[in-house]
Structure 1
Amino acid sequence: MEETISLKEIFEVLKKRILMILSITLGAAIVAAVVSYFLLTPTYESSSQFIVNQKQEDPATQYNAGDIQTNVQLINTYNIIIKSPAILDEVVEDLKLPYTSEELGDKINVTSADNSQVVTVTVTDEDPAVAVDIANATVEIFQKNIPEIMNVDNVSILTKAEVAEDPTPVAPNPILNIAIAIVLGIMVGVGLALLLEYLDSTVTTEEDIEKKIGLPVIGVISQVSDKDITEGKAGFQQQSRKGGFDGAQKTV
């Protein structure tokens, strides 16, 4: 026989185990807050931009669509070169960084908008000043070395990275982490409550008995507490005394 469960039954299960669900949710939020505020190291971002232009032999010659398209296609190549050891090894050496070129490459993100000649080099580091130095040094060294690497001279620096007066870390985001932890805590709590209810084989209702033995229930013995028994005896004794007194009167 296929078993079904109604929304009312689910609600009753959640109501019965609401304290467990709230405890798991609160615990997850507290753990996320502690990890975000005290255990994770804040990281900062800094960006520098350069633009790719086709060098013209004749200053009077105007740029055409073909020149711009060529520059846009070159950007994809530049994005790879700028994170190569040919550039990053020199950055590590100049700034005396405690990283290898591979480790430094993981801290650098190079992006460019579609059909744009502007390239943004973004560096993430635990020290905002170091992030600024890496971003500026990477772009400057790339601009210096690209003529030898590709025999071109078409890179101009647009903006240099600067240290803000009050830098704000980009990670971690405590509020977002706590919100995610609360959602996960609720999901885990609800799932655990339903699982415990499914695994609970205790017989508590008449329906449970019918499901277990396959026979209808024809009678139920109510649970009687000690208090009920005591009150019942007192009432019986009072009734017996009253009945005996009336009998004596009738006899006389």
Structure 2
Amino acid sequence: MKSEQMANTTSMIEIFGILRKHIKMIIYTTLITVFATGFVTFFVLSPKYESTTEILVNRKMSDQLQAAQYQQVQADVQMISTYKDIITSPTVLDEVNQEVEKYPGYPGSETGLQKSISISNQQNSQVFSVTAKSTDANTAAAIANLTAKVFKQKVGKIMSVDNVSIVSTASPSSTPYSPRKALSLAAGLLVGLILGCGLALIREATDKTVINESFLTDDMGWVNLGQISEISKKSYEEVSESKPVRTVRVTNLKDRRV
């Protein structure tokens, strides 16, 4: 058990040693990734805005059915899924599309318009929200309000519902919901660190250069017969100046005459 713990500790120390050895590469990789993420976030991606309007559909009841009010409320809640299908159907979106197709930030088609609209509601609530998204804040608000308006006009004829109320209208948002700049930069920092550490480990694993004697003695099993120290050019010049170099004259034997 102790040997396993020691082995794990040694492995962790070796990994930290490798990361420390390649710390410059890790820092450079992280900075490049953060700068690339920031460039894409601030200069490439278009900001997206969303606006929400809320609708209440409450079918009127006769006096004889007041005792069944609770059941009626539950039925209205369950009907919201049907209202969602009506809102995203061509019955409603055809008219909305004709109104907003010339607006800036228009999704491009009726299919794109359908994808830009989402409907949600809280549990056991008769109020549901229509949220529209666009690259233009005013267009997002216009799509949400027009969708609610057309739905209010159409649903009465489709389902004989005569009590549809727009609880709140959508207003242009001053801040985009995407991209989230701080979150993008944090993600870029994390990805850069992971990528840098991965490159450091890969480089160490593929580097077969002999950098110390322990590799020869421990890994290769060779015997260390000696070491040759490296001398710098400056040290060599200092030694040369302090000790004059002796010149040895060599006579070519071929040129000697007997």
Residue 212 of structure 1: how far off its partner (Å) = 5.1
Aligned to 2:186: 179
Distance 1:212 1:84, change over 3 A: same
Q: Deviations over 1:51-70 (max 9, x none)?
A: 12122133993662211110
Percent of paired sites with the same residue: 36
> Which piece of structure 1 moves more, 212-221 or 188-197?
212-221
Identify unmatched segments of 5+ residues in structure 2: 1-6, 245-258
Aligned to 2:81: 76
Which one of 181, 203, 207 corresponds to residue 200 of structure 1? 207
Aligned to 1:161: 170
Q: Is residue 197 of structure 2 the alignment partner of residue 190 of structure 1?
A: yes
Residue 110 of structure 1: how far off its partner (Å) = 0.6
Aligned to 1:102: 111
Q: Is residue 70 of structure 2 the alignment partner of residue 65 of structure 1?
A: yes
Counterpart of 2:79, as a letter, is: L
Counterpart of 1:87, as a letter, is: V
> Which piece of structure 1 moves more, 114-123 or 226-235?
226-235
TM-score w.r.t. length of structure 1: 0.82
Counterpart of 1:108, as a letter, is: I
Q: Is residue 144 of structure 2 the alignment partner of residue 135 of structure 1?
A: yes
Distance 1:226 1:160, change over 3 A: closer
Distance 1:234 1:91, change over 3 A: closer
Cα pair 1:32 1:174 within 8 Å, conserved: no
| Partner secondary structure for residue 122 of structure 1 | strand
Cα pair 1:89 1:100 within 8 Å, conserved: no
Counterpart of 1:115, as a letter, is: N
Aligned to 1:120: 129
Aligned to 1:241: none
Aligned to 2:48: 43
Give the Cα separation in 2 of the matches to 1:190 and 1:18. Answer: 9
Give the Cα separation in 2 of the matches to 1:19 and 1:192. Answer: 12
TM-score w.r.t. length of structure 2: 0.80
Identify unmatched segments of 5+ residues in structure 1: 238-252
> Which piece of structure 1 moves more, 117-126 or 151-160?
151-160
Residue 230 of structure 1: how far off its partner (Å) = 5.6
